[in-house]
Structure 1
């Protein structure tokens, strides 16, 4: 069964929607095709090339797959180390030592590609293109689509080449392009004292015929090769994944308080969707901020100058306050116990930064001086500076960060987490993780410093909490990703910004594409959202297909329970999809946000069916770090192809006797229907369909709109959506 959910978000722009999904030929499941590996060296000219198709080799010519040139003009200082039958490490050497090198790997032209790159220090977004000049600085994943056959008669069945820049010793790698269409490799240590003249295992390159299998097998190989991280399927999953939650951030921001928390939990429970876990976000800790004095005018960014002065809660959670819902707490322990008992909460998480707080620890504070914090001023790498600056890091560059002595970091996390456990807290959300790469000078470099902090953090989680109870955030650098041994949930996008209409569609698209990479290491967290919002249904559908935690950040009393009850069962549990939601294969190399013509399809599975979400992300906002602008006057009709074959791994639930027949169920109308379905999708609404495998099936509905059909999986399903102003 394939459940197909269609969503649009056209009120966020002037783009009218009349989306028609038309037939296409189903592409059959493609098997992994191994190839042999070897190595040879060019001896005749100043430049040479790599060939992948039988064996990864250095040979005059081009990086090719079955005759299709991929990378040309490879300089002689580029080295290839063959690995498996289809993979190799690629690196380069230099005549001089340095803490940062940029090497040319060769020229990429006339090939469809997908990049995942850091547009801010904390976050990745996707970009598609056709040449090296389309590859942004700080690219952390590069996927190429290779069509076999000639340019005039290309094959319908593409293959794929995956480039994953990794960690090589004390150096972290990334990719970038230049205006000459050259693919460049950047390696850096983050510490001028940590230098090298070579990195021979900087980029892992692999080849396959299914992009999802290719990513999975590549990450499994790197897990064993690097030994610094674990893939998602081998990790313990925190129990919050199967329950509905509420985060306090967008409800209160830093003004979070016990009274407001009680009000929010009560209103969700009274409405029939009780929260079973809560994240008490930024605003509960004991901090000091010399840059934001009480009574003085607010200076934007000054909130990031705050520093932790103790590991305990602040006065809001310790003092008496007048509240009509229940007795005010005397400390955090009493408050946690009260809300668990009163509102049936199973899990209470609290927020803290990797360095304790945004500005780290306050040097000289009585309760924190044993951790030897030193004030350091972050320094960003040229790659980060080439993209988008971030307000929070700009502030920390001005105000400094109280960096915990790496020799005491294990003690700090153990003290903090053991105290929280003593107060009844069940887990933590750990934010601001990429800060380490900016303060690594004189501390052994960014890779080594990240390893120290991540090991200390995850060890403390294991010792103090019972359920691998951590959500990681602001850590989308490969420094962190490739040191993720135990953490199983990680935020997969920039923040949810309820007040910014232009970011709603970007958010959904970014998470979906980022999950192609991140989803092999963690369960991607799609972040909180408002259930009462113009784009609420758009976000809710994404959470339904995302295979992710489901939680909102509603202000108390501001809820849309009609939406919430489609996600949350009466006991507070959620029916989470099986895998990270990712774009369908035919969406990997298109831009569903800015090209004015493409819809985004996100697929998933559950134990009985496949799931397909169809989203219109056009016309609302523009991707950051691009000179292109959103097409506001796009065509009034958008077409795409939808088929059960858009769902990968559907054979997991079909059984050996399945003949390929499918039946379609509409969530909106409740109909079992013929392959051609007509429906109206209002602004920010959805149409849902379920397509199920059929061996023998019959149905007699009480309503006149009921219908029965079956269709082959090798034929697409047609949908027609008409924009309506009513």
Structure 2
């Protein structure tokens, strides 16, 4: 592994798999002066070898002291790069690890926290009015807006600026990108391999990738680590770097490296529990009523919705709190809107058959923090930030009292969870006061301890920044994209694109939440399918009288439980470096679902989100899901068309604008393949158990439904759980479809 580190004079290069990171420079900034490995005295190079890794450390001396560059190789294709120093600590010290070039290089997909786009200044109000059946007072936004926009349109004026939402961005020229576009994850297509770079935030430091010339003389790929305040830390984190022929594996590798480096301080999604709450269909008040909510409105809405569809959780979104000047004044609900209080509201909702109720808050209480009126009670527990707003104090975990009292109040009301919004804004409160990553870690730990300690689960929102997601030790569900905006055609296309592409890496730290949607939206099918395959929560935000019952009922059972895949949906590897909005290619996402007693069954969804409204072609093959050479039964959910194909055989088709399809891909085992239940978007999850006993097959469903499967041999008898014959159809292609609902089905071959 040491051979991967190449030194030529003062130039350091690194080989990761087949990819060369050329001319790496380590640069430390203190008092606005850069001290670099190129211009400092090299004093020593040593290698530490352990059973897990080999680490090459090179020590340099400059006028401020000693610093050591560290390259830790876990394998020939996996590395972690960082720095240690012994500089005096009277001022902020920060790090740039600069890479001059990648060889070979073809294309870059990066995920940025840059500006979200001008369209979002006009879209919310216009489509809010449209969705509520009112005439907008503002002109409509353009029907189509290029995506991604030119680099200068996502660039901030200041380095400290960042969005709360991440978006993907494709380019074949990283050198024309600007420094003030913070990037949290990047994939480089390098010939036959994909190189992944994950900046690692730890200790006091937040790390991102930055491109562009600043603050140096020419464009470079920079791992940029800053605390934005003075810190005692002598170790500055850098980045996990890995390559692999499979881009999905490259992503897996860098997150495994981060886990190795950070240990128990960092939890991957697979290590954490998925909340039972989000196994069910929900409803959120936001797009139905925005802030115009009160006790009567909420209770009547839930009553009407429950008469149509089996919602089992409810989110009381923004509009319930006691606020003044955008600041939280009390933990009790607004007494004019909710005169009977929170406990009465929760009780009234649950009496209607809802199992779980959650309340929206922001991480800092409300959009502009806590009111000064709360300082009398929480003088030590609230910190006045550098923006002159109040936030729970991260110093020595003093702010825990605030979160504890807030969540105690919610628990008194018998609430079950909380949606925590506006989490990205910690930096604006703590810069120059507390190191940002240290502050965020304390705030996240206080918040999670207070909530989970009282039995409340968390739905995270506006939080796609590393200082947040590196610290979710128990919290495991998060919004994965910008808000859903109802009735917006162009927005529907982009929303699904953002969600699926962001899930490629974000699903490693949490289960992605694709946000609420209106089932009566003209583009609801696109939204519904994307959420069905997401693996995360599914919740509507309908006007109660307009719910599309047929569509919603395809997502869940009669008791509201979702048919939820066992893994988050990811973009198919063949489209990762392609842009389905601008290119003539279908968006394609895949996941899997376990059928107990049978095997895992594949699911592939294809979408036409072409920005120009053109028809697009798509292709799928079983080998995209399963490595094993075999025959596979393929079932398309909406058309119910079926086929039998080998691993490499291609199933192709054409999609009209906004059209979407879901394919079930099931391996044929002993002449049998299970697709699942009919008239549901995720058919395999309708199967509770499968047994094959000689010539008999017993399939138990979650509830009485119709079954679709493949059998090479025709059935002699199909019986329901009462032992009576069940009406069915068996086609010449070997497809068995039951035509009556049953919970347990016995098939004699």
Q: Which residue in the other structure is 2:549 paired with?
A: 561
Given candidates 356, 359, 371, the residue that maps to 1:347 is 356
Q: 5+ residue gaps in structure 1?
A: 1-35, 54-64, 148-157, 290-305, 320-329, 379-399, 620-631, 652-657, 711-726
Higher normalized strand content (fraction of residues): 2
Given candidates 5, 9, 13, the residue that maps to 1:49 is 13
1:100, CA displacement in angstroms? 4.7
* Count of residue pairs the alignment pairs up: 574
Given candidates 88, 92, 99, the residue that maps to 1:105 is 99
Q: Which residue in the other structure is 1:460 paired with?
A: 450
Given candidates 159, 167, 171, the residue that maps to 2:201 is 167
1:171, CA displacement in angstroms? 1.6
Q: Measure, in 2, the Cα distance between the counterparts of 1:72 and 1:659.
A: 40
Q: Measure, in 2, the Cα distance between the counterparts of 1:181 and 1:437.
A: 26
Matching of residue 118 in structure 1 with residue 118 in structure 2: no
Q: Structure 1 residues 659, 42: closer, same or farther in 2, change over 3 A?
A: closer
Alpha-carbon RMSD: 3.0
Q: 5+ residue gaps in structure 2?
A: 27-35, 38-68, 116-162, 596-600, 672-710, 716-726, 736-749
Matching of residue 251 in structure 1 with residue 288 in structure 2: yes
Q: Deviations over 1:229-283 (max 9, x none)?
A: 2111111211122100001111111112222222322222212x22100111111
Q: Which residue in the other structure is 2:222 paired with?
A: 184
SS of equivalent residue, structure 2 residue 639: coil
Given candidates 507, 511, 517, the residue that maps to 1:523 is 511
SS of equivalent residue, structure 1 residue 543: helix
SS of equivalent residue, structure 2 residue 489: coil
CA contact (8 A) 2:378 2:402 kept: no
1:175, CA displacement in angstroms? 0.9
* Aligned counterparts, 1:188-227, within 5 A: 188-191=226-229, 193-194=230-231, 201-227=237-263
Given candidates 659, 668, 675, the residue that maps to 1:694 is 668
* Aligned counterparts, 1:124-139, within 5 A: 124-133=166-175, 137-139=181-183
Q: Which residue in the other structure is 1:269 paired with?
A: 306
Q: Which residue in the other structure is 1:410 paired with?
A: 400
- Single out whichever of 547-556 and 103-112 deviates more from structure 2: 103-112
1:669, CA displacement in angstroms? 2.7
Q: Measure, in 2, the Cα distance between the counterparts of 1:707 and 1:186.
A: 62
* Aligned counterparts, 1:249-328, within 5 A: 249-271=286-308, 273-289=309-325, 306-319=326-339
* Aligned counterparts, 1:350-361, within 5 A: 350-361=359-370
CA contact (8 A) 1:39 1:80 kept: no
SS of equivalent residue, structure 1 residue 266: helix
Q: TM-score, normalised by structure 1?
A: 0.73
Given candidates 72, 78, 81, the residue that maps to 1:87 is 78
CA contact (8 A) 1:663 1:708 kept: no
SS of equivalent residue, structure 2 residue 408: helix
Q: Which residue in the other structure is 1:610 paired with?
A: 602
SS of equivalent residue, structure 2 residue 501: helix
Given candidates 513, 528, 533, the residue that maps to 1:545 is 533
Q: Structure 1 residues 215, 420: closer, same or farther in 2, change over 3 A?
A: same
Matching of residue 501 in structure 1 with residue 489 in structure 2: yes
CA contact (8 A) 1:171 1:187 kept: yes
Q: Which residue in the other structure is 1:334 paired with?
A: 344
Q: Measure, in 2, the Cα distance between the counterparts of 1:527 and 1:141.
A: 22
Q: Structure 1 residues 217, 105: closer, same or farther in 2, change over 3 A?
A: closer
* Aligned counterparts, 1:619-638, within 5 A: 619=611, 632=612, 636-638=614-616
Q: Measure, in 2, the Cα distance between the counterparts of 1:674 and 1:544.
A: 25
CA contact (8 A) 2:496 2:530 kept: yes
Q: Structure 1 residues 460, 698: closer, same or farther in 2, change over 3 A?
A: same
- Single out whichever of 698-707 and 667-676 deviates more from structure 2: 698-707
Q: Measure, in 1, the Cα distance between the counterparts of 2:294 and 2:498.
A: 32
Q: Measure, in 1, the Cα distance between the counterparts of 2:578 and 2:734.
A: 32
1:373, CA displacement in angstroms? 3.8
Q: Measure, in 2, the Cα distance between the counterparts of 1:617 and 1:369.
A: 50
Q: TM-score, normalised by structure 2?
A: 0.71
